[in-house]
Amino acid sequence: MKHSINSTVGLAVLAGFTLPASAASSIGGGFIDYVTVGNPGNAADSTGYGAVAYEYKIAKNETTIGQYAEFLNAKAKSDPYALYSTSMTTSSINGISRSGSSGSYTYTVNPGSANKPITYVSWFDAARYCNWLQNGQGSGSTETGAYTLNGRMSGIYTMNPGATVWIPSEDEWYKAAYYDATKGGTGGYWPYPTQSNTMGGNTIGVPNSANYYDGDYVGYPGMALTDVGAYGANSDSFYGTNDQGGNVWEWNDAVVFGSSRGLRGGPWVEYAYGLASSYRTNGPPWYENLDVGFRVASVPEPSCVVLTILASGMFVTRRKR
C-alpha cells in the first residue's frame, strides 16, 4: 500500500543535499546501528520489487536478543501483549529468561545470546517495538506511534503518516538486500544479498556465505543462530547490511492475501533457495517461530541544512508503502 508521509527525506532532495549516514540514529532508536540506503528512484527488479523513490535508513543488523530484552524490561513488567514467549529459551536459541510474577517480571539475556537475532516474535511484537523506539524507548508507548494498535493482537494495520521508525516495506527490504547501484554501470540486482549470483556455503569467513542449511553438516555452525554480522563484510549487501540472507526470516510490511504479512531472507534451517530474491513467503501477523525475527527502518538523520529548511516551514512528502 502506498501513501504519503511528511519527511526530511523529501526536504533533502528538494534542497539538493545528501543526508549523512550515522552509526546510531537518534530518530530511529539510539542503540540501533543503521546504514543509509540511497540512490532514490531506482527501477524495480524483474520480480517487480525494489523500486524506492526516497532515501531511508535500515538497521544494519537484525534486532538482537539483547536489544529485545531491553524492550521487555521496559515494557513487559506484566506483559499484556505477550511480547515474551517462553520458547525464547529453546536450546538452539538460548535467548531470554523471565523471572518474577506479573507486574514485576524481569528479563535476563542468557549467556552467549545477546548478539544473536531475536526470534519467536510476531509482526505485532515488531510493530510494538517500532512504536517504542519512535516514542523514545524507556516508558514510551507501544500502542501508538508508527502503528496505531491500542491493544489489538490481530488484524492488519498499516503504518501511520509521520512515522520515523517502522517495519520495512517489502520494496525497502528488497532494495537494501539485493540492489547494487554500481552493478552493470547503471545499477541492478543480485540474486543473493551477499552481492553474489550463488551462495558460497555456510562457513563463517568464506565470501558469499550465510547461516543457512546446505545439506551438509560438515562445517555447519551447530544448526543454531549465529551472532548478527558473524559472516563479516565479505558477505554484506551493497549498502552494508548483513544477514538479509540466512539466520532468520524477517518480517516486512507487505500485506499478502489480505490477512498475512510478508517474510523474506531465509533462516538458518532453510536451504539456499530461501535466501534468493526470487523467494518470498508470508505468515499471519500473530505467527511466531524459532526462525522468525525482524529488523527496522527509519528516516535519515536531518542535516543542518535540512533543519534550517524545516525551521522555515517548508515541507514536502515522500511516498511510503
> How does pLDDT run across 180-203, given as a tens digit for each residue?
999 999 999 999 999 999 998 888
CATH of the domain at 156: 3.90.1580
**Phi, psi angles (nearest 5°) of residue 320:** -125, 170
Question: What is the reported pLDDT for 90?
Answer: 84
Looking at residue 112, the DSSP 8-state letter turns out to be T
pLDDT at 16 over 90: no
pTM comes to 0.86
Gap between the Cα atoms of 58 and 165, Å rounded: 9
> How does pLDDT run across 66-111, given as a tens digit for each residue?
999 999 999 999 999 999 999 999 877 889 999 999 999 999 999 9
Show the 3-state SS of 224-290: CCCCCCCCCHHHCCCCCCCCCCCCCEEEEEEEECCCEEEEECCCCCCCHHHHCCCCCEEECCCCCCC
Domain assignment of residue 202, given as a range: 3-63+119-320
Q: Is residue 16 part of a domain?
A: yes
Q: Is residue 82 part of a domain?
A: no
Q: What is the overall mean pLDDT for the chain?
A: 85
**Separation in Å, CA 245 to CA 181, 250, 267:** 19, 9, 7
Gap between the Cα atoms of 15 and 18, Å rounded: 9
Looking at residue 196, the DSSP 8-state letter turns out to be B
Q: What's the structural domain count of the chain?
A: 1
Position 210, amino acid: A
Give me the residues paired with residue 303 across strands. none
Question: What is the reported pLDDT for 11?
Answer: 31
Is the Cβ–Cβ distance between 5 and 56 less than 8 Å? no
Extract the runs of DSSP E, i.e. beta strands, from the chain. 3-6, 34-37, 56-59, 96-99, 106-109, 165-166, 179-180, 188-189, 249-256, 260-264, 281-283, 292-293, 297-298, 317-320
Q: Is residue 123 part of a domain?
A: yes
Q: Mean pLDDT throughout 256-266?
A: 96
Q: Is residue 156 part of a domain?
A: yes
Q: Mean pLDDT throughout 293-311?
A: 66
Q: Is residue 113 part of a domain?
A: no
Q: Is residue 88 part of a domain?
A: no
Gap between the Cα atoms of 259 and 283, Å rounded: 9
Gap between the Cα atoms of 115 and 243, Å rounded: 13
Q: Is residue 69 part of a domain?
A: no
Gap between the Cα atoms of 44 and 52, Å rounded: 8
Nearest to 179 by CA among 289, 282, 41, 2: 41
